[in-house]
Amino acid sequence: MAQSSASHSADSLSAELFDRAQRSIPGGASRSTVLTSPHPIYIAEGEGAWITDIDGNRYLDANNNFTSIICGHADPVIDKAVRAQLGRGTAYSMATSIEIELAELLVDRIASIEQVRFCNSGTEAVMGAIKAARAFTGRPLIVKIEGSYHGTYDHAEASLDPHPNSWGDAKAPTTVAYAEGTPASLNGEVAVIPFNDAEAAWAVIRDVGERCAAVLFDPMPSRVGMPAINQEFIAAIQGAAREVGALVILDEVISLRLAHGGAQQLHGIDPDITAMAKIIGGGFPVGAVGGRADVMTVFAKQGDARAAVPSGGTFTANPVTMTAGVACMEQLDTAAFDQLNAIGDQCRAGLRAGFADADVAWQVTGAGSLFRIHPNDRPISNFRDTRHSSDEARVMADLQRELLTREVYLSDYGMGCWNLATTADDIELFVNAVIASLPNPAAHFVR
Ligand SMILES: Cc1ncc(COP(=O)(O)O)c(C=O)c1O
């Protein structure tokens, strides 16, 4: 490899590649989250907890492909299983038995799931869950949490990042389309509630009543700030949904990494449908909808008649993804979750102590192997509390840039997570790097 050159310098190979990329790819990348400033960093390889860019710079990975890598990069067990499958082909237009193995594994470990259908992303899983709920109930509308990210399906991304000018009532937020060009009919098809507000959940769900097919929520929503979910809120969602005859859809795309049986095991949630993705693919593109058998029947062909909700896809349940998923999930026993939780606890405790020592008004939320750093100390319970001011957004972008110079990759909004290959020394390096990267004490984010 060429001599190492600072990842963000104008003469780096990454800078050169970005110039080239902008000619053939609008914006220079197919995935906007890779756009670090001043240009994306092009990765050559990863191993365990670390990744190396094409200029030879190494980074401790505090993002893990937005939480999907849980065993570590290039995990040897997944690597071996996938290589064996690659030698036998990657995808056929007929069924393979490995799909059944991964389905059985999920049914065995996640209490509310009796059956599973696979797809290729979390976006597709949430879309499938919504379509299933609509077909099962014969109703058009979903209720979702303000600010919560569930992928890019029109209904699921409503009110993902509304500007304060369009927030509306804090107890009954306005439904705001995310992508320009989204049909205005969305307003009648999505209602929005604030996270952790049981009273608002009861009121909004009762108000939409018989039009409501499902209430969709993520128990540890990253864009809402990863506050701890309160039990009254869970009870309100479940109680109100059942009262009006709607289903509960739990988005466990990220939160499945919190416990052997997912966040539903931790919090005693009993969803009708669960959307999954990320870790269940062992590092490959994946999604899955799981749930009660009577609800899941909407996906089944009825004799010669097509399913109520037809689903499929060229690469759905392909044997490479299914093999990687089984090889990954089988390693995730309760001891593995204990290890992930210990790493996460060390990280959050280290950051809290570091912020206190530095006397800065910063905080960290999250649980298990997940964390989110906030450049403020206001109480965080929902999206409106969490949303960054433009000054805060700038400070977090600066933090990301500073961390890159200290061998750490973190998302530009402070959300991170750890994989099983991460050591106590790695966490110490991370905490020290964050503290060393805090804005100059003259800035106003200091007490
Ligand atoms: C909670 C949640 N749901 C759904 C999705 C969409 O998953 P994917 O990126 O696989 O489409 C994400 C992605 O980050 C997510 O965090």
Pairing state of beta strands 212-217 and 247-251? parallel
Q: How far apart are CA 219 and CA 221, in angstroms?
A: 6
Summarize the confidence of residues 347-357 as an average pLDDT.
98
With 90 as the cut, is the pLDDT of residue 10 above it? no
Q: 173 and 211 in contact (C-beta within 8 Å)?
A: no
Place of tokens 């997940």: 370
φ, ψ of residue 298 to 5 degrees: the values are: -60, -20
Summarize the confidence of residues 393-422 as an average pLDDT.
97
What pairs with residue 409 in β-bridges? 61
With 70 as the cut, is the pLDDT of residue 388 above it? yes
Crossing angle for the helix pair 390-404 and 424-437, nearest 10 degrees?
130
Q: 171 and 151 in contact (C-beta within 8 Å)?
A: no
220 lines ligand 1 (CB under 6 A): no
With 50 as the cut, is the pLDDT of residue 1 above it? no
Q: How far apart are CA 329 and CA 222, in angstroms?
A: 22
**Local confidence band at 427 (pLDDT 50, 70, 90 cut-offs):** very high
Q: How far apart are CA 81 and CA 308, in angstroms?
A: 36
* Dist. CA 125 → ligand 1 center (Å): 9
**Local confidence band at 37 (pLDDT 50, 70, 90 cut-offs):** confident
With 50 as the cut, is the pLDDT of residue 2 above it? no
What pairs with residue 51 in β-bridges? 46, 59
Summarize the confidence of residues 396-400 as an average pLDDT.
96
> Beta-strand (E) ranges in 236-286?
247-251, 273-277
* Dist. CA 424 → ligand 1 center (Å): 28
Confidence (pLDDT) at 146: 98
Residue 219: C-alpha distances to residues 25, 230, 239, 426 (Å): 35, 9, 16, 28
Q: Which residue, judged by its Cα, is nearest atom 3 of ligand 1?
A: 150
**Local confidence band at 5 (pLDDT 50, 70, 90 cut-offs):** low
* Dist. CA 314 → ligand 1 center (Å): 20
**Local confidence band at 443 (pLDDT 50, 70, 90 cut-offs):** low
* Dist. CA 151 → ligand 1 center (Å): 5
Mean pLDDT in the chain? Answer: 96
Higher pLDDT among residues 143 and 36, named by residue: 143
With 90 as the cut, is the pLDDT of residue 8 above it? no
| Ligand 1 site-directed mutation target among 30, 130, 150, most atoms within 8 Å of CB | 150
129 lines ligand 1 (CB under 6 A): no
With 90 as the cut, is the pLDDT of residue 3 above it? no
For residue range 98-131, list pLDDT tens digits in order: 999 999 999 999 999 999 999 999 999 999 999 9
Confidence (pLDDT) at 9: 75
Residues found in the chain = 447
- Burial, 338: exposed, middle or buried (Cβ in 10 Å; 0-12, 13-18, 19+)? exposed
Token representation of residue 31: 């995935």
Summarize the confidence of residues 314-319 as an average pLDDT.
98
Token representation of residue 209: 């009543």
For residue range 233-253, list pLDDT tens digits in order: 999 999 999 999 999 999 999
For residue range 216-238, list pLDDT tens digits in order: 999 999 999 999 999 999 999 99
| Ligand 1 site-directed mutation target among 68, 123, 152, 316, most atoms within 8 Å of CB | 123
Summarize the confidence of residues 47-57 as an average pLDDT.
97
Q: How far apart are CA 189 and CA 205, in angstroms?
A: 13
- Looking at the chain, the whole-number percentage of residues with pLDDT higher than 90 is 95
Residue 359's Cβ-side half-sphere holds a number of Cα atoms within 13 Å equal to 6
H helix runs in 269-416, sequence order:
293-296, 319-329, 334-358, 383-386, 390-404
φ, ψ of residue 119 to 5 degrees: the values are: -150, -165
* Dist. CA 88 → ligand 1 center (Å): 30
Residue 255: C-alpha distances to residues 161, 259, 371, 388, 402 (Å): 21, 8, 12, 23, 28
In the three-class reduction of DSSP (H, G, I as helix; E, B as strand; rest coil), residue 223 is classed as coil
All residues at 6 or more sequence positions from 124 whose CB lies less than 8 Å from its CB, including other chains? 151, 287, 313
**Local confidence band at 287 (pLDDT 50, 70, 90 cut-offs):** very high
Q: 96 and 317 in contact (C-beta within 8 Å)?
A: yes
Summarize the confidence of residues 156-181 as an average pLDDT.
97
Q: How far apart are CA 83 and CA 89, in angstroms?
A: 10
Domains along the chain with CATH numbers:
113-329 (3.40.640.10)
In the three-class reduction of DSSP (H, G, I as helix; E, B as strand; rest coil), residue 306 is classed as coil
Nearest to 143 by CA among 168, 175, 121: 175
**pTM of the complete model:** 0.96
Q: How far apart are CA 137 and CA 135, in angstroms?
A: 6
Helix-then-strand count for the chain, H and E: 14, 14
Proportion of the chain in helix, strand, coil states, percent, rounded to 5: 40, 15, 45
For residue range 355-371, list pLDDT tens digits in order: 999 999 999 999 999 99
Place of tokens 């319970």: 381
Confidence (pLDDT) at 163: 96
